[in-house]
Chains A and B, each alone.
Chain A
Amino acid sequence: MTKALSKSVPDDEVPGSVHTAKPVTDTSGHRPRERHRITYLGLILVGCFVLVPFLWMLIGSFKPTNELLGDQGKALLSSHFTVQNYVHLFKQYDYARYFANSALVAVVTALIATSISAFAGYALARFRFPGRGFAGFLILVTQMLPLIAVLIPLFIWFKSFNLIDTYSSLFIAYNAFAIPFSTWMLRGFFSELPLELEEAARVDGAGEFTIFFRIVLPISATGLMATAIFCFILAWQEFLFAITFISSGSKFTLTVGIAGMFGRDVVDWGLLDAGVVISTVPLAILFAVLQRFLVRGLTAGAVKG
């Protein structure tokens, strides 16, 4: 998640913030341009720093593993270009299955968490009720617990409910972590919306549900999208719960599947690279398509978050 975020945010945000933070007062015409150059140079360096590991991974996935381990491994381009790693990935392992499992878990988490936290976030943003402040506080507190702290209790619970080795265990566990954060995020987003719109709808004769479904949700597409992406990523890259609660190979998610590729004696780096490349592709596409929403959604939520 962090990798992906740091990749997309600087591109969009840094030039903008430089413009606004330092209004151009110099009228000679040279310095602003120079400043731009320095900004872009900095951005390119940061971009390289972030992107090179991805590039290395991509190149590695097309090299035979024996070459990766030898001197050739240091070369940028392979002398024996091969797609063998990808073929192995799907032949030796049930990689398509892992991929589908991850997609299932991530999509379900994104849908459920976003739906529930849209209601919760709206309630926290707009309604006055006893315990409102405390509810908000509790939601924050859950974010302070490290996953590992709740791992064993959750395992015991799930065991007593016969949920171990089911998708449901992951749906529940991921939503338990995704909902509080996305509630907080959407609460921030909703409280930034102009109240007048909801008042206008109220005067127009709308009840609370009509206001929520016909006014608030349609104008919150960016916030909802950003929240859904966040939840998707949270579930997509999660490892600890997945390896603890899931035992049968047919239910493995990508992270667990990739971890399984580390042999006891040998690590097939080429194979591993190929696996990671494939697991990154959906995120890269997601970001490329929805980047606009994400940056706006995150900042909209962040101002008062």
Chain B
Amino acid sequence: MAEVQYVEATRLYPGNPVAAVNRLNLDVADGEFMVLVGPSGSGKSTALRMLAGLEDVNEGEIRIGGNDVSQKPPKDRDIAMVFQNYALYPHMSVGENMGFALKLKGVGKEERAAKVLAAAKLLDLEKYLERKPKALSGGQRQRVAMGRAIVREPSVFLMDEPLSNLDAKLRVETRANIAALQARLGTTTLYVTHDQVEAMTMGDRVALLKDGILQQVDTPRNLYDRPGNAFVAGFIGSPAMNLVKVPVSDAGAQLGNLTVPLRAGTAAAVRAEGLKEIILGVRPESFTASESGNGLRVKANLVEELGADAFVYGELPGQKTIDTGDDGGAKPFVVRFDGRIPPKIGNEISLDVRTEETHAFHPDSGERIGD
């Protein structure tokens, strides 16, 4: 059991002036499930591998249980890692795979067998202990990889996209199993994923990275309700939040034909900075069909019916939705509707906005404005 601290931890690759992980400061409490999430190339895996000792820490330090481990080899860090492709030793049986670390530590044969068996029971793997990895299904291999980590009773679990090789259904099951297992064992866990659903459902807290820089660390709820900048706002949530650069006046933000009043704190901050424009963020579910018919007018170009929900993809006349992802192209404006009364494609719909659920971001820096 231990807490993990990144202190100004930086990873520079030779010949590349841009740091893969740039001055990362992150505290993970003892027993906490911390998810590192971000698009590809965000440095989340590198950050994890720095903690594992598989990547150098060029500046700053990483502490486990208060001790600086930045210069220690992986074996002296008391960590266990689950790899994306499981990395099971193909020439060893499941039991040998799980017991390998203990064997290297010099744990006696009987104690080792007992520990492997206990972990195997936990993961429903008793029947397979004699098998070679190649004779297992994907889900079973994944569990063996988990088992190999559990057997060692390390102070920290590191997991690098451990579910990305499973099919969708199994992934959802395993997601819940891992979260439950971690809660039961109470071992500090760092979990890397690019899947924001995993991040939201599994983590006690989520750290969002982009281009090697930590954007925000918070509980999934807060990350969703109070994103610290436009990138976080656009990354968390599916479909993504609508982000539109709009003119502001004292009356509010001008979204399409609708003037959206800003909350008091936001309006004050906008006035204080003398901004003429802001990035207004509204999640797809923050709209309701307007009863008066005087709401925001959006033309429905595409309707996706998912049963409970229907997502309408449309456009705002004269305004463009910003894509905070790398491609930078225009994105459709997305609105969630009740799945049972979807609008028709090609029709114009009229929408009311729940003002208390809007977000405002600085037009240049993308930082959150106001409360």
A204, A206, A215: the one within 8 Å of B148 (CB) = A204
> Does the CB pair B101–A204 fall under 8 Å?
yes
- The 8 A-B residue pairs whose C-beta atoms are closest, nearest first, are A196-B87, A200-B87, A205-B75, A204-B101, A218-B91, A205-B104, A203-B81, A203-B74
Q: In the bound complex, do residue B104 and residue A203 qualify as a contact, i.e. CB atoms below 8 Å apart?
A: no
- Complex formed: what's the CA distance from A219 to B132 in Å? 13
In the complex, which residue of chain A has the Cβ closest to the Cβ of B154? A203
Q: Cβ of A219 and Cβ of B100 under 8 Å apart?
A: no
Flag if A202 contacts B104 (CB, 8 Å): no
Q: Is the CB of B52 within 8 A of A206?
A: no
Contacts of B53 in A (CB 8 A): 202-203
Q: Quick one: given A203-B79, A203-B80, A205-B104, are A197 and B73 in contact (CB under 8 Å)? A: no
Q: Which residues of B are at the interface with A, using a C-beta cutoff of 8 A? A: 52-54, 73-75, 79-81, 83-85, 87-91, 100-101, 104-105, 148, 152, 158
Is the CB–CB distance between B91 and A200 below 8 Å?
Answer: no
Does A197 lie within 8 Å of B105, measured CB to CB?
no
**Total A-B Cβ pairs within 8 A:** 57
Find chain A residues with CB under 8 A from B80 CB: 203-204
Q: Is A207 part of the contact surface with B, judged by Cβ < 8 Å?
A: yes
Cβ of A201 < 8 Å from any Cβ of B? Answer: yes
Asked whether A53 is an interface residue with its Cβ less than 8 Å from the other chain, the reply is no
Nearest Cβ on chain A to B115's Cβ, whole angstroms: 14
> How many whole Å from A211's CB to the nearest CB in chain B?
10
Is A250 part of the contact surface with B, judged by Cβ < 8 Å? no
Chain B residues contacting A207 (CB-CB under 8 Å) are 75
- Distance of A197 Cα from B148 Cα, bound (Å): 13
User: Chain A: which residue is nearest B104 at the CB level?
Assistant: A205
Q: Which residue in chain B gives the minimum CB-CB distance to A210?
A: B104
Assess A200 versus B75: contact at CB under 8 Å? Given A205-B101, A206-B104, A218-B91. Answer: no
Pick from A194, A197, A202, A218: contact of B75, CB under 8 Å: A202
CB proximity of A128 to chain B, nearest CB, Å: 9
* Interface residue from B74, B85, B148, B152 paired with A202 (Cβ < 8 Å): B74
Scan residues 167-221 of chain A and give those whose CB is less than 8 A from a CB of chain B.
194, 196-197, 199-207, 210, 215, 218-219
Nearest Cβ on chain A to B191's Cβ, whole angstroms: 16
Q: In whole Å, how far is B187's beta carbon from the nearest beta carbon of chain A?
A: 15
Grouping DSSP codes into helix (H, G, I), strand (E, B) and loop, the A interface class, with mixed when no group exceeds half, is helix
Chain A residues near B52 (CB, 8 Å)? Answer: 199, 203
Distance between B154 CB and nearest chain A CB, rounded to angstroms: 9
Contact present for A202 and B100 (CB under 8 Å): no
CA distance A196 to B90 in the complex (A): 12
Contacting residues, chain B, for A204 (C-beta < 8 A): 75, 80, 100-101, 104, 148, 152
Residues of A within 8 A of B (CB-CB), count = 16
B14 to chain A, nearest CB (A): 9
Residues of A within 8 A of B73 (CB): 202
For B89, list chain A residues within 8 Å (CB). 197, 200-201, 215, 219
Give the interface centre of B81, B105, B152 by most chain A CB atoms within 10 Å: B81
In the complex, A199 Cα to B84 Cα: how many Å? 12
Contact across chains for A196 and B83 when beta carbons are under 8 A apart: yes
Bound CA–CA A204/B147 (angstroms): 12
Please report the C-alpha to C-alpha distance between residue A244 and residue B137 in the assembled complex, in whole angstroms: 59
Residues of B within 8 A of A199 (CB): 52, 54, 81, 83, 87
* Residues of chain A within 8 A of B74, CB atoms compared: 202-203, 205
* A-B residue pairs in contact (CB < 8 Å), sample of 9: A199-B81, A199-B87, A200-B87, A202-B54, A203-B81, A204-B80, A205-B75, A205-B101, A205-B104
Q: Mark A42-59, 1 if CB is under 8 A from B, else 0.
A: 000000000000000000
CB-CB under 8 A from A205, the residues of chain B are 74-75, 101, 104-105
Chain B CB within 10 A, most for which of A200, A206, A207, A215: A200
Given known A-B contacts A206-B75, A215-B89, A200 and B104 have beta carbons under 8 A apart: no
How far apart are A148's CB and chain B's nearest CB, in angstroms? 43
* Centre residue among A199, A202, A205, A215 by max chain B CB count within 10 A: A205
Residue from the list A194, A200, A210, A218 in contact with B81, Cβ < 8 A: A200
Q: Which residues of A contact B104 (CB under 8 A)?
A: 204-206, 210
Contact A196 B101 (CB under 8 A): no
Q: How far is the CB of A286 from chain B (nearest CB, A)?
A: 24
> Which of A194, A196, A201, A218 lies in contact with B100, CB distance below 8 A?
A201
- From A194, A199, A203, A207, residue with most partner B Cβ within 10 Å: A203
Chain A residues, Cβ within 8 Å of B84:
196
On chain A, the residues within 8 Å of B54 by CB distance are 199, 202-203
Give the complex CA separation of A215 and B52 in angstroms. 19
Q: How far is the CA of A215 from the CA of B54 in the complex (A)?
A: 17
| CA of A218 to CA of B53, assembled, Å | 25
Measured between alpha carbons, how far is A277 from B100 in the docked complex, in Å? 49
Q: Shortest beta-carbon distance, A196 to chain B, in Å?
A: 4
Given contacts A203-B75, A205-B104, A215-B89, 19 further A-B contacts (CB under 8 A): A194-B85, A196-B83, A196-B87, A197-B90, A199-B54, A199-B87, A200-B87, A200-B88, A201-B89, A201-B100, A202-B54, A202-B75, A203-B54, A203-B81, A204-B100, A204-B148, A205-B74, A206-B75, A219-B89
